Structure 1
């Protein structure tokens, strides 16, 4: 079971879109997948059509055991089987502090989870306790950015956070790489930022980048996987997420 964290230390770069694209690719491939929504905004939970019932990620962090995990895990409306969601909640914000007391809670809760091929952890777009707790439970971390000045600067902070966790409470954590989202092929500024990222991080910059296409927002707005959305743009996005998922699945795990 690969546990993959999706993170960004800058909001608005499409981190949840990448989470949903990877979930769509995993569903298309028949991988049994759990998406954990650590973001108090709960966007992944909403887009996946998950309806929390007897619990959510906040209750799991309050009491990380088998019964709370089971109660908080619900089926996505994307499929009749094979894609589950540990539902997000604004109540999880109480755990978004940096005192280090919660960092092992999700990892402990996942010791009760079995039967999945892939777990995707959608972290909040900030360096707080929830992001640290989410990443500490992961084998690999995917950093999401877009080709703009401030987003590129945030990549460095995210990579330092991953290294800090690897040297401390999460020795198994490794960076999978950097996925560049919302790329416009004709933008001179974006081309400059892409070159800057490649100079700084080399092979950690994953290919292909995710192109900016309205089809991605359309599919998410309809609570549908992009692999099921019609049109050439959606098919292009589907191939991109397939390639990113391949990269994640090839990564060695402890």
Structure 2
């Protein structure tokens, strides 16, 4: 089972969109997948067609264990089977100021969990305890950015956070790389920022990059996987997420 964290320390760069794109690719491939929504906004939960029913990530973190995960996990409406959600809600916030010795709660809850090929952890766009709890549970982490000044600056903070966790509560955590989202082919400013990212992070830059296409937001707004959305733009996006999933699956598993 590969546990993959998706994070960004800047909001609005499409972190959840990348999480959902990877979930769509995994579903299309027949991989049994669990999405863990650490974000109090619960955007992944909503887009996956799930309504929390009194138990969610917060209740799992209150009393971590495999039984709590099973009780809180709900099936996504994207398919009859194969894609489950550990839902997030505003209740997650109460765990955003935990001490460092408590960061292993989600990792402990996922220990011994069977029946999944892939776990995707959608972290909040902040440096609070929820993000650190989520990443501490992961084998690999993807940092999502877009080719803009402030988003590029946030990549450095995210990479430093991953390194700090590796030196502390998450010795097995490794960066998978950087996914650049919302790329426009003819933007000179974006081209400059992409060159900047390549010069700073080199082989950590994952390819292909995710182009800016309305089809991605349309599919998510309709609570549908992008692989099932009609049109050439959705097909292009599907191929991008297939390739990114391939890269993630080549990482060592638990």
Q: Please indicate, yes or no, whether the TM-score normalized by the shorter chain is above 0.5.
A: yes
Shift of 1:67: 2.6
Shift of 1:200: 0.3
Do 2:226 and 2:237's aligned partners in 1 also have CA atoms closer than 8 Å? yes
Which stretch of structure 1 is more off in the superposition, 167-176 or 92-101? 92-101
Aligned counterpart, 2:26: 26
Distance 2:54 2:160 in 1: 37
Do 1:141 and 1:173's aligned partners in 2 also have CA atoms closer than 8 Å? yes
Distance 1:201 1:113 in 2: 34
Distance 1:252 1:117 in 2: 12
Aligned counterpart, 2:118: 118
Do 1:95 and 1:102's aligned partners in 2 also have CA atoms closer than 8 Å? no
* Partner deviation per Cα, 1:174-200 (whole Å, 9 max, x = no partner): 000000000000000000000000000
Shift of 1:3: 0.1
Which stretch of structure 1 is more off in the superposition, 105-114 or 214-223? 105-114
Do 1:102 and 1:129's aligned partners in 2 also have CA atoms closer than 8 Å? no
Aligned counterpart, 2:172: 172
Distance 1:173 1:101 in 2: 17
Distance 1:20 1:88 in 2: 14
Shift of 1:54: 4.4
* Counterpart secondary structure, 1:39: coil
The gaps in structure 2 that reach 5 residues or longer are none
Shift of 1:52: 1.9
The gaps in structure 1 that reach 5 residues or longer are none
Aligned residues: 254
* Partner deviation per Cα, 1:103-122 (whole Å, 9 max, x = no partner): 00000000141110000000
* Partner deviation per Cα, 1:145-194 (whole Å, 9 max, x = no partner): 00000000000000000000001100000000000000000000000000
* Counterpart secondary structure, 2:102: coil
Aligned counterpart, 1:60: 60
User: Is residue 2:240 matched to residue 1:240?
Assistant: yes
Distance 1:153 1:175 in 2: 17
Do 1:54 and 1:71's aligned partners in 2 also have CA atoms closer than 8 Å? no
- Using the size of structure 2 for normalisation, the TM-score is 0.98
Distance 2:65 2:115 in 1: 17
Which stretch of structure 1 is more off in the superposition, 166-175 or 44-53? 44-53
